[in-house]
Amino acid sequence: MRLGAAPAIGRLSADGLLLDAEPRLADLNRRAGGGQGRAVAVPQIAALVRLVRRLGIPLTRAIVAADGDDDVTLTVRAEPDELGIRLEVSGWQAGAPWEAVHAPRRAADFLRADADWMWTTDAALHLTHVSDQAGDRFGFDSQTVLGQPITRLFSLSDDGEGGFPILGALASQARFDGQEAGIRGTRHRVRLSAVPRIDARGQFAGFDGAVHAIDPPPPAPFTTPAGEPNTDLPDGFSRRIGRALRHPLGRIIANADSMSAQADGPLRDDYVAYAADIASAGRHLMGLVDDLEDLSAIERTDFEVADEAIDLADVARRAAGLLAVRAVQGNVRIDRPSFDDSLPAHGEFRRVLQVMVNLIGNAVRYSPPTGTVWIRLERDGDNACVIVADQGKGIAAADHERIFAKFGRVDPTEAGGSGLGLYIARRLARAMGGDILVDSAPGQGARFVLVLPGRFDAPAG
């Protein structure tokens, strides 16, 4: 086998059975005792498949697998798709990897030596492992945070000079120490350290991290007068995280898009695919930055929105236009209001557009191929309403409020966002004197209704 050989592709069903595989992967699996229609027999690949099935997010791992009397070094990427899980196995280097590949593992061993417990993330900073004993000792459910952004578990504190060690380490893909944080939903304070994880291609693959408890715990967290917990993000967090991440992420996305488009010349097909993956991961991280900025803003006690005269029909058309490319890629049709339609209302244009993009984007994401997303306008007394309806799998009544909770996900194993979109959208709608309602049942699609104060005593602007 040789380094740089083209990746071998395999497909697994939703319950983890091998549907088909290209010859090299099929032969490796057969030599390990497996076969088509059975679970993957290579233990390291099987463990990765189980983790991806549980978390519902793509993961990449560098592994060393036994192949007869020899070892083979592989880079395995597993990601959910419409059939179940897609495997892409590359590298195929005979023998154990060069010792430098193990250097991060040795560094992680040093962290582990005096840590209270350990955690691991992928390259997008989603938690992929939390020590089993952590939840019992520190008062949280270690299973529910898997697959969630690291900020779902830790509320980060700056270093006293406006910096966040973890953000600097992410930008430079380096080790960090001394990142103080709180464990959400508890009074525990901890100190985080981590070393970068590097895959067989030399690419950043996340962090191996350690947690050290800080005693004593702080006073109970502050809550707003309305009784809702205030954000744990410190003042100025959104500005600092934007400064730390937006510029490097923007460059990563732009360069990856350029490579994917082969703007500077032809590339191997697998490199084009890798570049597209990098750009997609970068946009996912940028979306997380956007969500964290919005979360930091809307949970401040002094958060306000402007009262502007808007046309909901116009905002809905603009939002649908922004999502047109995504809809085409998913083979979904958006049936939006005509240019003759008008529905005057009160609200802040920028925030209403943000809410509509979230609602329509979710409808497109969960619609089946050839499905339709309908956008309809209604007047309900003194209120103006926009209805976004899809033909997706629907939402059980018991989950109608859960989807609006902070980090709320009905199915954590399903690919999706950070769990903040609908929480932020409803907070914005209510800040403008309106609300977001849902009407859905399993198998019957979903109808989300944005309600805002109407403006029926004046023509639309």
Residue 356: C-alpha distances to residues 159, 180, 312, 363, 450 (Å): 37, 36, 10, 11, 8
More confident residue, 67 or 98: 67
More confident residue, 220 or 62: 62
The model's pLDDT over 370-407, given as tens digits with 9 standing for 90+, comes to: 999 999 999 988 999 999 999 988 888 888 888 888 76
Residue 412: pLDDT band (50, 70, 90) is low
At 138 the pLDDT is: 80
More confident residue, 84 or 100: 84
More confident residue, 180 or 2: 180
Across 320-340, average pLDDT: 88
Give the pair of three-digit tokens for residue 146.
């898997």
Query: For the chain, what percentages of helix, strand and coil (3-state, to nearest 5) are there?
Result: 35, 30, 35
Omega before residue 43 within 30° of 0, cis: no
Across 52-66, average pLDDT: 79
**pLDDT of 100 over the 50 cut:** no
State residue 428 phi and psi, 5-degree precision.
Answer: -65, -45
**pLDDT of 4 over the 90 cut:** no
| Amino acid at residue number 245 | L
* DSSP-based three-state secondary structure for 137: helix
Task: Report strand pairing: 446-453 vs 383-389.
Answer: antiparallel
Across 192-205, average pLDDT: 82
Cβ proximity of 316 and 361 under 8 Å:
no
Across 324-351, average pLDDT: 89
At 408 the pLDDT is: 61
At 246 the pLDDT is: 62
Q: What residue ranges do the domains of the chain occupy?
A: 5-97, 101-221, 241-298, 308-453
**pLDDT of 211 over the 60 cut:** yes
Out of 2.10.260.10, 3.30.450.20, 3.30.1490.20, 1.20.1260.10, the CATH code matching 101-221 is: 3.30.450.20
CATH topology of domain 5-97: Beta-Lactamase (3.30.450)
More confident residue, 287 or 317: 317
At 296 the pLDDT is: 65
Q: pTM of the entire structure? A: 0.45
Cβ proximity of 285 and 323 under 8 Å:
no
Q: How far apart are CA 78 and CA 55, in angstroms?
A: 11
Q: Let me know if the fold of 5-97 is the same as that of 308-453.
A: no
**pLDDT of 28 over the 50 cut:** yes
Across 322-342, average pLDDT: 88
Across 175-181, average pLDDT: 89
At 388 the pLDDT is: 94
Exposed e or buried b for every residue in 8-32, given b needs 16+ CB within 10 A?
Answer: bebbbeeebebeebbebbbebbeeb
State residue 333 phi and psi, 5-degree precision.
Answer: -100, 135
Cβ proximity of 187 and 99 under 8 Å:
no
The helices-and-strands tally (H runs, E runs) of the chain is 11, 18
Q: How far apart are CA 389 and CA 341, in angstroms?
A: 18
CATH topology of domain 308-453: Heat Shock Protein 90 (3.30.565)
| ∠ CA 64-203-407, rounded to 5° | 100
At 224 the pLDDT is: 37
